[in-house]
Amino acid sequence: MNEHRDLALDSQISTLGFTQQILCGRGTTAIWLAVRALTANDEAAEVIMPDVLCSTALDGVILAGAVPRFAAVAADRFTVTPESIAAAITPKTRAILVAHTFGHGVNIPAIRAVAPRIPIIEDAVQGIGGSVHGQLIGTLGDVSILSFHPTKLIDGHGGLLAFNDATMLAQVTADVASLADDPCVGWERVLANLHTLLPGAAAAGYVAQLRATYRTLLKQFDATHDNVARIAASWRSLAERVSARNQKAQLLRDRLHGLASSLPEIRVGDAIWRYTITLPSAILARRAVHALTRARLISTQLYPSLSGLLGQVPMTPFTDRFVNFWVDEPITEDYFERVASVLKDLKTLTIDKTYKLGTRI
């Protein structure tokens, strides 16, 4: 464990069951560290990642000098499947990043079965506090990633990388030490990759963006007492908070029943971070968010298709139909009643009660 010594935080981190734990500035930094350690000295390394995910996760992979290869997500849970991972594997695959997007748990043992020799980075940021077939999320990969932030499942500021392979430790330790350097280590490979991944102008744009943001993405851990205590306290109350979030998501799902939209099931073990539904068209999704905003009800439209962001044919053509609802502590039952009432006022959403995902209105 680096930098801090705090027994309360140590005891929470130890629940993940790894022998090596490194705290860093962000979840993105943890992804960067993991990918660098797993692809060291491999110029052509590819890392498979979900096509639907926070775009800073993609920044982390790209800043590590790896080539991202996207795996399709299932429309009903927004997560990768063994089949989509198997389809993305090539002889150059050096790691698979799996995320429990929006809090829907992924069956990582089933993914391991189709990729038995490829290390799995479990991005537990949106699923921590949940489980898959009784095994805790955050304990399922070869490397585990967390992010601490007021809008995530665990409060505070920072990231965590946990793993067992002692041979990764030297690289990770050196990379943590290099975080003060300018430019970041491996920058040449980043530039070379971006120029092969993207057409000229787009590569230049992405390079400019990374130059401007990488210091905010790749950072050392804030080991002040306040931050450490905040993370530890929030982690300690995670189980109760996850249970409350799941109940709220279920309540919202019940309230939205009958709308022409796809309402994902909340399965045993899920740890809903944002309850996300898919509307029949992008226009309707935008109208819904507009109407909700006018009624002062928070909702968002995350995430884009990452393959689309890199100028490829978007692998997930329906991301512009997402609407995400918050189920965080301050959200009350009244919010769900009002959300349902606003959406039911959008007449097109109530026309077709038998709407199935894939049909467009």
Ligand X SMILES: Cc1ncc(COP(=O)(O)O)c(C=O)c1O
Task: State the number of binding residues for ligand X (CB under 6 A).
Answer: 14
Closest to ligand X by CB, 50 vs 280, is 50
Counting contacts by CB under 6 A, is residue 270 touching ligand X? no
| Token output for 278 | 């898919």
Residues written for the chain: 361
147/316 with CB nearer ligand X? 147
**Among 6-14, 40-48, 51-59, 110-118, the segment contacting ligand X (CB under 6 A):** 51-59
Closest contact distance (angstroms) between CB of 320 and ligand X is 19
* Under rule CB under 6 A, residue 54 binds ligand X: yes
Piece of 11-19, 24-32, 287-295, 351-359 that binds ligand X (CB under 6 A): 24-32
Cβ at position 351, least distance to ligand X in Å: 34
CA atoms within 13 A on the CB side of 33: 37
Spell out a b/e string for 322-345, using b for 16 or more CB atoms within 10 Å of the CB, else e.
bbbbbbbeebeeebbebbbebbee
d(CA 170, CA 40): 11
Give the residue, chosen from 12, 23, 27, 80, that forms a contact with ligand X under the rule CB under 6 A: 27
| Residue closest to ligand X (Cβ) | 27
H or E segment to which residue 14 belongs: helix 7-14
Query: In terms of CB distance, is 52 or 343 closer to ligand X?
Result: 52
Between CA 83 and CA 73 the distance in angstroms is 10
Between 128 and 349, name the residue whose CB sits nearer to ligand X.
Answer: 128
**What does R_g of the chain's alpha carbons equal in angstroms?**
20
Q: Does 26 interact with ligand X (rule: CB under 6 A)?
A: yes
Q: Cα 302 from chain centroid?
A: 11
| Identity at 200, one-letter amino acid code | G
| Rounded (5°) CA angle 273-361-102 | 10
- 99 scored as a contact of ligand X (CB under 6 A): yes
The binding track of 150-189 with respect to ligand X, each residue x by CB under 6 A or -, is: ---------x------------------------------
Interface with ligand X by CB under 6 A: which range of 63-71, 113-121, 122-130, 264-272? 122-130
Q: Does residue 144 touch ligand X according to CB under 6 A?
A: no
* Residue in 147, 193, 276, 305 binding ligand X, rule: CB under 6 A: 147
Helix axes 200-217, 27-39, angle to 10 degrees: 110
CA distance 352 to 314: 27
Q: Does 338 bind ligand X (CB under 6 A)?
A: no
Distance of alpha carbon 328 from alpha carbon 342, whole angstroms: 20
CA distance 341 to 336: 8
The smaller minimum CB distance to ligand X, of residues 26 and 248, is found at 26
Which one of 25-33, 171-179, 288-296, 312-320 is the stretch in contact with ligand X (CB under 6 A)? 25-33
Contact of 155 with 20, CB cutoff 8 Å: no
Q: Which residues bind ligand X (CB under 6 A)?
A: 26-28, 53-54, 56-57, 99, 123, 125-126, 147, 149, 159
